């Protein structure tokens, strides 16, 4: 019996990297998937095509998670196409490097607008739309344990996301909707590799006791667990999927 029959997932940032792996995994689990993306039409189309080629249902919707109207339209599109929303995964995010200094303010504001304001809007819309048994998952980070220079805006935004998750889990008391965060360690994605030398990548890969970078599929598996029936008793938590380095 397919326990995911007639369930729909919205995955923000679902066209590339970890978001794409999550979208594909949830589709493989039997959910129809709405793939949100910001600007890369080709990448979104590729994700949808891969899901459909494997026998799943998917729809790509473009928008800015930091814009309330765009987020509302994303959920409207999911409801119109598939009749409802049951799982929401907020994976959209940016990672500009910026020092904690006046010169870094523009990058800080941009990061907060996407990573934290976006999470607030997506989680808020999810709370308004999901029914009993719904699942909400937000992507955080394990980078906070390293506190590396240049990561200040990113870590600050994700600390805020974790706070929102814990509060929303309590605000949804009595509705049987779980709210959790997944905090990946270093994962081999385009976003991770950008601007890093081979030496830096090797050093990051050596951090976990398992001595490798995570894969997008590693993270997608954790999200699949939280979104499925086995994850029902996990609520208000931050799962640090990082190979054990922190």
Please give the DSSP secondary-structure letter assigned to residue 143: G
Q: How far apart are CA 25 and CA 12, in angstroms?
A: 14
What residue numbers bound the domain in which 116 lies?
8-185+215-239
Domain count, the chain: 1
The pLDDT value recorded for residue 214 is 95
Residue 246 CB-density burial (10 A; 0-12 exposed, 13-18 middle, 19+ buried): middle
CATH of residue 225's domain is 3.40.50.720
The pLDDT value recorded for residue 230 is 95
User: Is the distance from CB of 214 to CB of 187 less than 8 angstroms?
Assistant: yes
Instruction: Specify if 205 maps to a domain.
Output: no
Confidence check: pLDDT of 2 > 80: no
> What are the pLDDT digits (tens) for 111-166?
999 999 999 999 999 999 999 999 999 999 999 999 999 999 999 999 999 999 99
Looking at the whole model, is its pTM more than 0.85?
Answer: yes
Q: How far apart are CA 25 and CA 185, in angstroms?
A: 19
Active-site residue set: 154
Mean per-residue pLDDT, 188-209? 90
Three-class DSSP category at 62? strand
The pLDDT value recorded for residue 163 is 98
The pLDDT value recorded for residue 192 is 85
- pLDDT tier, 5 (very low <50, low <70, confident <90, very high otherwise): low
Closest among 65, 164, 147, 150 to 108, alpha carbons compared: 150
- pLDDT tier, 6 (very low <50, low <70, confident <90, very high otherwise): confident
> What are the pLDDT digits (tens) for 71-99?
999 999 999 999 999 999 999 999 999 99
> What are the pLDDT digits (tens) for 43-63?
999 999 999 999 999 999 999
Rg (Cα) of the chain, in Å, rounded?
A: 17
Report percent pLDDT > 70 for the chain: 98
Q: How far apart are CA 51 and CA 236, in angstroms?
A: 30
Three-class DSSP category at 178? strand
Instruction: Specify if 196 maps to a domain.
Output: no
Instruction: Specify if 202 maps to a domain.
Output: no
Looking at the DSSP assignment, which residues form a beta bridge with residue 33?
Answer: 9, 58
Instruction: Specify if 63 maps to a domain.
Output: yes
The pLDDT value recorded for residue 195 is 82
Instruction: Specify if 34 maps to a domain.
Output: yes
Mean per-residue pLDDT, 11-26? 97
Instruction: Specify if 193 maps to a domain.
Output: no
Please give the DSSP secondary-structure letter assigned to residue 83: S
Q: Supply the mean pLDDT for the chain.
A: 95
Instruction: Specify if 190 maps to a domain.
Output: no
Phi and psi (nearest 5°) for 51? -65, -45
Instruction: Specify if 204 maps to a domain.
Output: no
- pLDDT tier, 1 (very low <50, low <70, confident <90, very high otherwise): very low
The pLDDT value recorded for residue 3 is 44
Instruction: Please give the residue that has the higher pLDDT: either 192 or 158.
Output: 158
User: Is the distance from CB of 176 to CB of 165 less than 8 angstroms?
Assistant: no
């Amino acid at each position: 019996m397919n326990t995911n029959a007639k369930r729909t997932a919205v995955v923000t940032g679902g066209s590339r990297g970890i978001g794409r792996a999550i979208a594909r995994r949830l589709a493989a689990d039997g959910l129809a998937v709405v793939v949100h993306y910001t600007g890369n039409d080709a990448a979104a189309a590729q994700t949808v095509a891969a899901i459909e080629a494997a026998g799943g249902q998917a729809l790509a919707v473009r928008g800015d998670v930091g814009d309330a109207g765009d987020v509302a339209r994303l959920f409207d599109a999911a409801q119109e196409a598939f009749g409802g929303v049951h799982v929401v995964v907020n994976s959209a995010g940016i990672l500009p490097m910026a020092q904690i200094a006046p010169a870094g303010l523009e990058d800080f504001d941009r990061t907060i607008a996407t990573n934290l304001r976006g999470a607030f809007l997506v989680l808020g819309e999810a709370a308004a739309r999901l029914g009993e048994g719904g699942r909400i998952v937000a992507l955080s980070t394990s980078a906070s344990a390293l506190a590396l220079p240049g990561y200040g805006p990113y870590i600050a935004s994700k600390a805020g996301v974790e706070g929102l998750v814990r509060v929303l889990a309590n605000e949804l008391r009595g509705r049987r909707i779980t709210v959790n965060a997944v905090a990946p360690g270093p994962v081999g994605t385009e976003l991770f590799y950008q601007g890093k030398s081979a030496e830096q990548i090797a050093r990051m890969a050596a951090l976990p006791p398992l001595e490798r970078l995570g894969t997008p599929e590693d993270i997608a598996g954790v999200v699949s667990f939280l979104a499925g029936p086995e994850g029902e008793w996990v609520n208000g938590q931050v799962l640090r999927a990082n190979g054990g380095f922190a």
